[in-house]
Every structure is written in structure tokens, then in C-alpha cells.
Amino acid sequence: MALKVKAKEQLIKVGKYADTYRFVLSPELYIALAQNKVISEAALRSGISKGVMQACWDAAGEVIKAWATEGHSVALPGLGTMRFGLRAKSVATVDEVKSKLITSRRIIFTPSTDLKDELSNTSVQITCYDKDGNVLKRVTSADDGVVEDDENGSNENENENENQNENQNPGGGNGGGGTEDGTDES
């Protein structure tokens, strides 16, 4: 198994390399698989009927949504965990605390060690194309397979922000902060 990537020579139009041709890497074969295809394959591999697999898939999805919206980090078997989080501004006094401080809501996925090891051990095959689409060469990865823990390549700042923004409410519940009909009282 290998990740397939293309390096296409493209004219850069903005930034440091504006008006020069550079080789830009992008996924070659990544496509979204339909849920039906995933369920069919899981049913085939497990020996469970497709209908039962669909019912299990739907039930697991509902449980994950329910528990995640209650503030739990939910295990995704074989993959890792997911939870909901948010980004928010800080304020100096309790009187300034309002729901308007929330700048975005997020879905946070933490891959399992096994999944990160699988990615680390998967080779990357790069096919290089010139600006006319002709194949120039093919390269197979020889890197050390380092897997970043988040989109920014660093886990430390992310954890600090999450601790500041998400753990302000030590109590239970869903931390919704509004009225029962979802509107803000402030």
C-alpha cells in the first residue's frame, strides 16, 4: 500500500515565488468513498449482512454524536478518539463572559498510535509532471515517516489553547450556556 502524490510544475501567481514555475505536490488518488461502499466492504470482511452492518453503523454514529455533544471524548475503534471543542476569546472579568466570546466550534480527532504507525510505515509515491502533463520521474519516499499530531505540526500550543478555552467549566452537563430553546440570555 502507498499514498500516491503528484508533483506538477505550475506557474505560481502570488507570494514569494510569483511568476515562477514550481513543482507543487497534491494527492493523486484521494477520493471520498461513499458510505454505502464502506458498509458493503465492512460487511464482506466481517461476515455480517449488509443490513445489519448498516444498522450498526447508524447506531454507532448516533451514539458518537450523543456522547460527543455531552462533552465526552468518544473512542472510534481502530481509529482514535473524537470530541467537540471550541475556540474562544478570553476576558478579564466574569461580567464580560458571554457566548459571543466563542469564535468557532471544532471537531477534534486524535488518531490512535496504531493508525499513526500505519501512516508512518506507508510509503509515498510521487509522480512528477511538467507543465504540459508529461511524466518526468517517479520517486518513492525515503523520509522517516514522522506523523504530525495536528494540522499545525505542533501539539503543545493546541493543548494550551484547548485547556484555556474548553476546560473553563469544571462542572458536568453539555456546557451549552444558553436557555433551553438555544437562545443566549446575555
What's the whole-number mean pLDDT along residues 120-136?
Answer: 94
Integer CA distances (angstroms), 46 to 9, 41, 50, 51, 107, in order? 44, 9, 10, 13, 29
Q: Are 85 and 165 in contact (CB under 8 A)?
A: yes
What is the share, in percent, of the chain residues with pLDDT greater than 70? 80
Q: Are 41 and 23 in contact (CB under 8 A)?
A: no
Q: What mean pLDDT value characterizes the chain?
A: 82
CA angle 99, 73, 98 (to 5 degrees): 5
Q: Is the pLDDT of residue 168 over 80?
A: no
Q: Are 110 and 82 in contact (CB under 8 A)?
A: yes
**Sequence spans of domains, the chain:** 2-31+73-166, 35-72
CA angle 157, 158, 159 (to 5 degrees): 90
What's the whole-number mean pLDDT along residues 7-32?
Answer: 92
Considering only CA atoms, which of 80, 88, 87, 81 is closest in space to residue 106? 87
Cell of 125: 509515491
What is the share, in percent, of the chain residues with pLDDT greater than 90? 69
Question: In this predicted structure, what is the pLDDT of residue 182?
Answer: 38
What's at 162, amino acid-wise? E
Considering only CA atoms, which of 101, 72, 98 is closest in space to residue 85? 72
Q: Is the pLDDT of residue 71 over 70?
A: yes
Question: In this predicted structure, what is the pLDDT of residue 170?
Answer: 33
**Whether this model's pTM surpasses 0.75:** no
Cell of 152: 499545525
